[in-house]
Amino acid sequence: MNFILSSPLTTKSLQLSVCANYQLRPRSLSISFLRYSLQHCTMQLPYRSKEEYKKHFIAHSKRNVVPICEVLCPLLADRSGKLFEFGSGVGVHVMQLASNLPHWQFQPSDMEPEFVAEIAENVQEFKNIDAPIHWDVRCTHLDSEKSNYDIALCVNLLHVTGWDTAVGLFRSASWVLHNQGILFIYGPFKENGGYNTESNRSFDESLQKKNPQFGLKDIVDLKKAALENKLHFDRKIDMPANNYILQFHKQVESASGCEII
Ligand SMILES: C[S@@+](CC[C@H](N)C(=O)[O-])C[C@H]1O[C@@H](n2cnc3c(N)ncnc32)[C@H](O)[C@@H]1O
């Protein structure tokens, strides 16, 4: 399968103010549910500065974007739908997917206002990418107005954040997805306390030295946290460089035990 490579990321200075950005209204999502509890919403950086952080994750995403697309695009290519991405960074994955899946509509988001502004600048030309929104998976207060995305995606977030982010991710994903919607999480993980390679063990140790809350999350723990949010583990897909894509689907049951369609 051939993939279109999105144009190189711009490094133009930010032109949108943060306030202007908060007011951007995505086409497919009501903004009314977004209420922020700012008291806990501080960014924990795995690097000394945001610039350094951004440089590192963009370098990684340029390497993993094609393999991720190679897995997701064939699964989604024969239908249309809506995909919500958490922790989009500067939008590398959402742009690549949007280029290859023109019948899909994409909603990028991030907790960091500077990155939200940068995504907005980067995705201007894409008709199938909605205006990015500010969304902290830990802090967003979700009201009863449900969303109905087909797919939720999160790339390289959980190893550079604490456990509260993993819990928040499942809660947020369960909220944006409709019943039977699918969540994909890409990244390095451990399983039953074990590592798939020695390099991932060292990587985990180096992350925890930076911040004891950081580090590879255990798939066993993730499955439990997912289930608490009606997300059932489906499979683990091997990816290059000792990473995985974890796939979950949302299944809501009625009081009678029957699946709600
Ligand atoms: C390592 S970067 C990965 C960015 C992008 N997914 C990629 O692979 O290029 C992690 C991203 O998650 C965002 N992030 C961190 N904590 C978050 C949270 N609690 N809620 C939403 N986004 C978060 C950061 O601002 C950053 O953009």
Q: Which helix (H) or strand (E) holds 59?
A: helix 50-76
- Ligand 1 atom nearest to CA at 110: 22
**Total residue count of the chain as it appears in this document:** 261
* Confidence (pLDDT) at 51: 82
Long-range contacts of 75-79 (CB under 8 A, 24+ apart): 76/101, 76/104, 76/151, 77/101, 79/103
Report CA(214)–ligand 1 centroid distance (Å): 13
Report CA(88)–ligand 1 centroid distance (Å): 6
Report CA(161)–ligand 1 centroid distance (Å): 9
Check pocket membership of 140 for ligand 1, CB cut-off 6 A. no
* 253: confidence class by pLDDT, cuts 50, 70, 90: confident
| HSE toward the beta carbon, residue 226, CA cutoff 13 A | 22
Distance CA 156, CA 57 (A): 8
* Confidence (pLDDT) at 168: 97
Is 236 in contact with 186 (CB distance < 8 Å)?
no
Average pLDDT over residues 108-125: 96
Q: Over the stretch 33-44, which tens digit does the pLDDT of each residue have?
A: 333 333 345 666
Residue type (1 letter), 98: A
Q: Over the stretch 138-167, which tens digit does the pLDDT of each residue have?
A: 976 676 566 899 999 999 999 999 999 999
Check pocket membership of 110 for ligand 1, CB cut-off 6 A. yes
Structure tokens at 191: 């399983």
pLDDT greater than 90 at residue 217: yes
Spell out the SS3 assignment of 187-232.
ECEEECCECCCHHHHHHHHHHHHHCCCCCCEEHHHHHHHHHCCCEE
Check pocket membership of 188 for ligand 1, CB cut-off 6 A. no
pLDDT greater than 80 at residue 128: yes
Domains of the chain with bracketed CATH: 56-250 (3.40.50.150)
Average pLDDT over residues 207-231: 97
* 53: confidence class by pLDDT, cuts 50, 70, 90: confident
- Ligand 1 atom nearest to CA at 138: 19
Report CA(145)–ligand 1 centroid distance (Å): 25
pLDDT greater than 60 at residue 127: yes
Is 136 in contact with 161 (CB distance < 8 Å)?
no
Check pocket membership of 96 for ligand 1, CB cut-off 6 A. no
Average pLDDT over residues 196-213: 96
